[in-house]
Amino acid sequence: MNEKRVDLFDEWAETYDESVSGYEGFPFEGYDEVLGEIARAADPRAGMLVLDLGIGTGRLAARFLEAGCSVWGLDFSVKMLAKAHERLPQVELIKADVLGDWPIDRDKRFDRVVSGYVLHEFDLDSKVRLISRLVNQHLSPSGRMVVGDISFETAAEREAAKKRWSGSWDEARQKWQGSLWDEDEHYWAADEAKRALSGLSLRVEYRQVSFCGGVYVIQPAIASE
């Protein structure tokens, strides 16, 4: 992760929760509902070991602690991790880049790997490599990975959203509003993601939660049979 993005999230840490909760419109409409669907789809149970990728301020991780899970959280932002520690002091926190090297034993296995609003930072090839790494190295054989993010059912719907949210005309002020669509981010399309993951012997299920947010459940095919 480049320093510009690290600085952005460090600066955002103080106001992140307020800025995403109850948000209307692109890109965070349905944010709380997406986190709820991640927790529901993960089906957490007491005693499970959970890895939260991009833990941020700990909003998602809190749901797993409430279910009696032991939680590890990874993030590259020192200030986000500080917020997570303040909220959830019992979580094992790790400072690391999601795509980089982690100070986690190679054979450490988690019952659930979850992530909320993080992986759109990475292009599709990087997403696939990361998911493959997690499944092969850090997910228990009967475990599952659950990812909630900015996402659309199809690449065509994503393209339509891009045209809509790349700018808008403010009738009241009679001026063009700036873009909400970040060209440096890589929003999901479920049809595209499923094709890309099809060669990894994974079962991938997807549920659209809001018009711009959805949840993926990813698990080894043998575990889902």
Q: CATH code at 137?
A: 3.40.50.150
The rounded percent of the chain whose pLDDT value lies above 90 is 80
Q: What is the DSSP letter of 110?
A: E
Computed over every residue of the chain, the mean pLDDT equals 92
Listed range (1-10, 32-41, 148-157) with the worst mean pLDDT:
1-10
How many domains does the chain fold into? 1
3-state DSSP assignment of residue 137: helix
- The whole-angstrom separation of Cα 212 and Cα 225 is 30
Q: Please determine, for residue 211, whether its predicted confidence score (pLDDT) is greater than 60.
A: yes
- The whole-angstrom separation of Cα 213 and Cα 7 is 25
Mean pLDDT of 175-188: 79
Report phi then psi at 153, rounded to 5: -60, -40
Mean pLDDT of 144-159: 98
Per-residue model confidence (pLDDT) at position 170? 56
Per-residue model confidence (pLDDT) at position 225? 45
Which pTM does this prediction carry?
Answer: 0.92
Domain with 157 in it: 3-224
SS3 content of the chain, % helix, strand, coil (to 5): 40, 25, 35
Per-residue model confidence (pLDDT) at position 1? 61
Per-residue model confidence (pLDDT) at position 44? 98
**Hey, which residues does 214 pair with through a beta bridge?**
149, 208
